[in-house]
Amino acid sequence: MIQDWCVANSSYGIERIPTPRIPVSSEEALEIHSKIKTACRQGDQAGCQNLVAKVKALARESERNRRCLVATGTAGVLSSAFEDFSKASFDDNVAVLEEILSGLAVLLPHDKATTYLASDASMDCVVWFLKSEDLSTRRNAVLVLKELVPLDNRNVDMLLEIEGAMEALFKLIKAPICPSATKASLLIIYHMVMSSSSSPTKAKIVAKFVDLGLVSLLLEMLVDAERSICEKALGVLDGICDWDQGREKAYNHALTIPVLVRKIHRVSDLAMKFSVSILFKLCMNEKRENGGVLVEAIQRNAFEKLLVLLQVGCDERTREKATQLLKLLNVYRGRVDCIDSVDFKNLKRSF
């Protein structure tokens, strides 16, 4: 009746409402699964590619469809197919692998699919796509990796052993594709620098990122980053500042103290926790006789902000760090004047 009314009044500019499509059922999803498995067994690239394209179309059609596909284990079926074609050949199966990777990105999150995606062949293939020139493919690859890394330290170790993985992640931050890819890259790098690897291995990881220019990049990003990116960038910087190489780069960058002090109370509790932690590491390891970062922190109103932090409350570990920082800062407090902590006019960014 509504459609008839729309047609009757089309002369007034009223358009006919598209007929809603019937949502996908569990039975239909399982039937697609069966066809994908058959196509994989037969090595039918074109058939599998068309079926995955159908899955993507259904998932994008409605959130109800996407939930149904996730609930029936579609991600696991796609992951298994991805592993099978990865083992055969990257170059020969690039089209179907790219389609499956895109389908997996649409169905995020999918914890149950990690068994296949965490295999050597699958991980190598995902990183291979991560290093590609196609922006959409790189985005899909990093989103899939983001699902794997937090679940198991072995996935982190495996990723670190793949040549070019760290450089590809850095590139996604240096030349952003989209916010979701940037956040995913930062999260993966955070797990890399905070991994349970041995100290020499972690030192090499941090040194590699420092050499790439990650510290400067993070500090420049933090000037005007939105909340989620800011939290992740601060988390990565906090991990890097556990090491001498990371702290040395931070000491020598003009934005370090102004940005860290500014983020206290301005973003979120998590950002504040990371900011205080980084300041603590820098101040506790300060070796210059003139006070260096301690003096600059006072100039940027760090003392007052830390006092407010203790008054409004925070977690116990952050409270301990803030208290120790106040003791360190108090030594230099009477020797310097404060300036506005949001004044970046005289600071130069590398870009």
d(CA 281, CA 286): 9
Amino acid at 28: E
The enclosing H or E element of 287 equals none
The total number of residues shown for the chain amounts to 351
For the stretch 161-208, pLDDT in tens is: 999 999 999 999 999 999 999 999 999 999 999 876 667 788 889 999
Q: How far is CA 120 from CA 107, 158, 296, 325, in A?
A: 22, 8, 48, 45
Task: Give the tens place of pLDDT for each residue, 3-42.
Answer: 888 888 888 888 877 777 788 899 999 999 999 999 999 9
Q: What is the pTM of this model?
A: 0.86
Q: What is the pLDDT of residues 43-61, one digit of tens each?
A: 899 999 999 999 999 999 8
Output 268 or 21, whichever has higher pLDDT: 268
Instruction: Quote the pLDDT of residue 342.
Output: 46
CA nearest to 307, candidates 289, 323, 284: 323
pLDDT class of 343 with cuts at 50, 70, 90: very low
The amino acid at 287:
K
- Average pLDDT for the chain: 87
Question: Which of left, alpha, beta for 265 (phi over 0: left; psi -120 to 50: alpha)?
Answer: left
Dihedral over Cα of 30, 36, 37, 38: its sign: positive
CB proximity list for 134: less than 8 A, separation 6 or greater: none
Question: So what's the pLDDT on residue 172?
Answer: 95
Whether residue 240 contacts residue 214, with contact meaning beta carbons closer than 8 Å, is answered with yes
**Predicted confidence band at 90 (pLDDT cuts at 50, 70, 90)?**
confident
Q: Left (φ > 0), alpha (ψ -120 to 50) or beta: where does 162 sit? A: beta
Q: How confident is the model at residue 310 (pLDDT cuts 50, 70, 90)?
A: confident
C-alpha–C-alpha distance, residues 30 and 306, integer Å: 57
Residue 274's Cβ-side half-sphere holds a number of Cα atoms within 13 Å equal to: 26
The 10s digit of each residue's pLDDT in 282-292 is 998 887 766 68
- pLDDT at residue 9 in the model: 86
Q: How confident is the model at residue 344 (pLDDT cuts 50, 70, 90)?
A: very low
DSSP annotation of 22: P
pLDDT at position 337 is: 59
Q: Does position 230 have pLDDT exceeding 70, yes or no?
A: yes
